[in-house]
Structure 1
Amino acid sequence: MNGETTYLTGLAEVLWPCGGLLGRGEPGTVPGGSAKDGGTRAYLPVPSAHDPRVILPVADRYAAARAVAAFAQRHSVRERLRAAALTTAFASGLAPLLLRDRLHVGPGHTIEHELSAALDRRVVIAVHVGPPRANRKPVLLLLTPAGRTVGYAKIGVNELTSRLVRAETRALERLAQARLPEITVPRLLHEGEWNGRPLLVQDALPVGAQTHLPTPRQLLRCVVQISAVEPVRVQPLSQSPYRAALAERIAALGERPETTPLRACLDRLPDARLPFGAWHGDLTRWNIAATPRRAFVWDWERLDFGVPVGFDALHYELNECVQNGVHPGVHRWLDTGARLLRDPLVAAAGLAPGAAATVMALYLIDLATRYLHDRQAEAGASLAAVDDWLLPALAGLRDRAAREIHDAG
């Protein structure tokens, strides 16, 4: 077994307490029990048990085909083409003949039974696993046997992901009471526990062929509306609860080598007046879709309050810039991120143009602190090598922030 097959069998023990056993399908056969008979059933780790990204039911081919399409919506063109071929293979019934690896699940009370009872209807699940990272957790697409989407479920599998699932539950409860004129968020359908772990079920947003990535103007409108979930407060950085909390988070890192430069940069930032409000915390192309009149935003597990306005715009832009390489992407972000923060929409929320570099520096300090606490580098996250790109970028921003404040004054 490699690390991924070990993860896969461990995940099976969470979702199916009766456990799962990896095996191979026989050529020319389509094994797999019926989800209705309570017997052994089979799932396909795709593309393989050694590199699982999704887990699909063998016996429910229409549900499996729909799941492939749903999980590929925000991926690259190459990945979408691959997903289209796989969708066709499932719809035609050929996929189980082409994909040999199987995850066999024994009889007993399973996550499917729990979710069906919670939603008062029979559901079939497909599981998105995703690449290795510290906050990796299963996201379950809930479908009818005919392939119609019912909703999504999330389950914590360790201390970090359990904390995030509980946080998203609280966030959806909070957002249900918020006024977001141009943003739709998922409704909380069910919260509870499964196998001693937190369970969250939310409805599915209408995201598909009719939606697209937000334009820069739509993105900034979303950022400003999210920031106003609580009243925006403008105050000097030195007097803000945010700065005090960030300093405590840095101190909690202990004697790591990154602690000293992060603390030094925070201490040397100018005492700019900044607007503080709410932020999504992980706004990327994978968590937002739009029509000309509306945005749909999901994955609210890192919703936080009292944060400098503009963080969400910087986070989205950074993740866009690094798609084709971290170092050239960060270099580009240092310019494009500043332009976003100088937009009149952000200025109307209270951010002065001379404070853009200060907010960018605070964002990088915050991001580095998050990565280090979550141990993202150890889990293999591509952006998590803080000393490789983030600290050098931060040093330049610290100096730019001082110049901007001096020029603005």
Structure 2
Amino acid sequence: MTGDTDYLTGLAEVLWPCGGMLGRGEPAAIRSGSSPARGSRDSRVYLPVPSAHNPRVILPVTNRYAAARGIAAFAQRHSFRERVRATVLTTAFACGVAPLLLRDRLHVGAGRTIEHALSAALDRTVVIAIHIGPPRANRKPVLLLLTPAGRAIGYAKLGVNDLTSRLVRAETEALGLLAESRLPDITVPRLLHAGEWNGRPLLVQDALPVGDQTDRPTRRQLLRCVLQIGALQPIEVLPLSRSPYRGLLRARIAGLGARPEAEPLRACLEHLPDVRVPFGAWHGDLTRWNLACTPRRAFVWDWERLAFGVPLGFDALHYELNECVQIGVHPGVHRWLDTGARLLRDPLMSGAGLPSGAVATVMALYLIDLATRYLQDRQAEAGARLAAVDDWLLPALAGLRDRAEYETREAAG
């Protein structure tokens, strides 16, 4: 077995160093060399869903309440097809028939496991369901922590390589900072535990009340959220040439070395107009998967890329880009060039100090920043959807550079 099955067996070694093996039915032997007795209280069996060849969620076989809750928590319900799929799977697990339909198994041997460590950290019995998502450089397990009755306690994240370990540590630091910050209309997770498991960084945060009572944000809710996050540090309006951000971005591009994409990114940055731009904080990955709203509050999670001193509006552009490409990368980017500009021209953004003559410049800076991140993280090699920057991002960036020069002339005239 190759591909995702290799990732799954490697992940099993991290989560359950006592030994794990993929198979069907009861294992003849666990990788550690011991065979758990059938029905042993200390051995565990998990279901990779939909299969070991394409694992997206890993669920406990013996606890249908936890399994059903795991499907419901990790399901993407943004389309009719996704909602139907989630309903069918949840019902199958709740009724106990899913193990009869899904044949692949992940068998875990007896011994100390991640469940033991989490139960000790939270001082209560913990059952886990695991989300691992599609292939990306920053792919890591997200563990839903549940009571045996299926009630959500929180979420845990574990670094599995250098990049994901850095991100887990960064989110731990971010949650500590956010606990002391004021976000009037935004709720963020509380940090419940920070430590290590199997030599890797581990964080545990509480579960936000996200579900049927929350929805995607309206345009106004999105922009209010973006501005409140931006105000985590005092907003400062500076000419681009005098901003620390420009120097840091130039250094990051230089860190790409001889990669062929680096030169057009550097050239575009050097030739952008020297407009005045408001700088503040940004979440760094604000998307429909990390944000949910009620009419009065926003719930925001996944703070692993929180950063400061960036152009105001990056979060709005990031959210909008990820929405637009749901119809396909190329048509989505074409749409984003229009809808992203409209977002930045909203009165809420101009009221925060973003002039209309700087809109295309901020959009170009966002694409340069995003391209640099993707190249640094080697996302294309991992198969991430938007990571082929020479295919769509560089052509869009060239057009934005021309638009930025035109906007500057119009503003001056």
Provide TM-score, normalisation by structure 2: 0.96
Structure 2 residue aligned with 1:52: 55
Q: What displacement does 1:77 show?
A: 2.5
Which amino acid is 2:222 matched to?
Answer: L
Structure 1 residue aligned with 2:2: 2
Pair 1:23 & 2:23 matched: yes
Matched position secondary structure for 2:310:
strand
The 1-side partners of 2:219 and 2:42 are apart by: 51
CA RMSD of aligned residues (A): 1.5
Q: Give the 5 Å matches for 1:172-251.
A: 172-251=175-254
Contact 1:21 1:104 in 2 (8 A): yes
Q: Deviations over 1:163-184 (max 9, x none)?
A: 0000000000011111111100
Q: Deviations over 1:87-124 (max 9, x none)?
A: 11111110111110000000111000000011111010
Q: What displacement does 1:79 show?
A: 2.2
Q: Deviations over 1:223-278 (max 9, x none)?
A: 00000001111100001110000000000000111011000000000001000000
Which amino acid is 1:153 matched to?
Answer: A
Q: Deviations over 1:19-60 (max 9, x none)?
A: 21011027xxxxxx89x9652210000000000000000011
Identical-residue share of aligned pairs (%): 79
Contact 2:279 2:309 in 1 (8 A): yes
The 1-side partners of 2:388 and 2:187 are apart by: 34
Contact 1:354 1:407 in 2 (8 A): yes
Structure 2 residue aligned with 1:86: 89
Matched position secondary structure for 1:78:
helix
From 346, 364, 368, the counterpart of 1:365: 368
> In the superposition, relative to structure 1, how do residues 189 and 232 fare at CA in structure 2: closer, same or farther (>3 Å)?
same
Structure 1 residue aligned with 2:260: 257
Which amino acid is 1:2 matched to?
Answer: T
The 2-side partners of 1:77 and 1:86 are apart by: 14
Q: What displacement does 1:74 show?
A: 4.4
Provide TM-score, normalisation by structure 1: 0.97
The 2-side partners of 1:22 and 1:164 are apart by: 28
Which amino acid is 1:305 matched to?
Answer: F
Q: Give the 5 Å matches for 1:326-405.
A: 326-405=329-408
The 1-side partners of 2:252 and 2:68 are apart by: 44
The 2-side partners of 1:199 and 1:388 are apart by: 36
Which amino acid is 2:99 matched to?
Answer: P
Which amino acid is 1:128 matched to?
Answer: H
Q: Give the 5 Å matches for 1:254-333.
A: 254-333=257-336
Contact 2:189 2:301 in 1 (8 A): yes
Q: What displacement does 1:75 show?
A: 4.4
Contact 2:196 2:202 in 1 (8 A): yes
Unaligned runs of 5+ residues in structure 1 are 27-32
The 2-side partners of 1:74 and 1:375 are apart by: 29
Matched position secondary structure for 2:157:
strand
Q: What displacement does 1:213 show?
A: 0.3
Q: Give the 5 Å matches for 1:79-118.
A: 79-118=82-121
Structure 2 residue aligned with 1:12: 12
Contact 2:279 2:312 in 1 (8 A): yes
Matched position secondary structure for 2:21:
strand
Contact 2:77 2:86 in 1 (8 A): no
Contact 2:76 2:82 in 1 (8 A): no
Give the ranges of 4+ consecutive aligned residues of structure 1 lying more than 4 Å apart after TM superposition: none
Matched position secondary structure for 2:116:
helix
Q: Deviations over 1:361-386 (max 9, x none)?
A: 00000000000000000000110000
The 1-side partners of 2:309 and 2:301 are apart by: 20
Q: What displacement does 1:348 show?
A: 1.4
The 2-side partners of 1:125 and 1:388 are apart by: 39
Contact 1:141 1:149 in 2 (8 A): yes
Unaligned runs of 5+ residues in structure 2 are 27-35
Which amino acid is 1:367 matched to?
Answer: L
The 2-side partners of 1:39 and 1:326 are apart by: 47
Structure 1 residue aligned with 2:29: none
Pair 1:406 & 2:396 matched: no
Q: What displacement does 1:83 show?
A: 1.6
Matched position secondary structure for 1:265:
helix
The 1-side partners of 2:98 and 2:77 are apart by: 23
The 1-side partners of 2:280 and 2:178 are apart by: 14
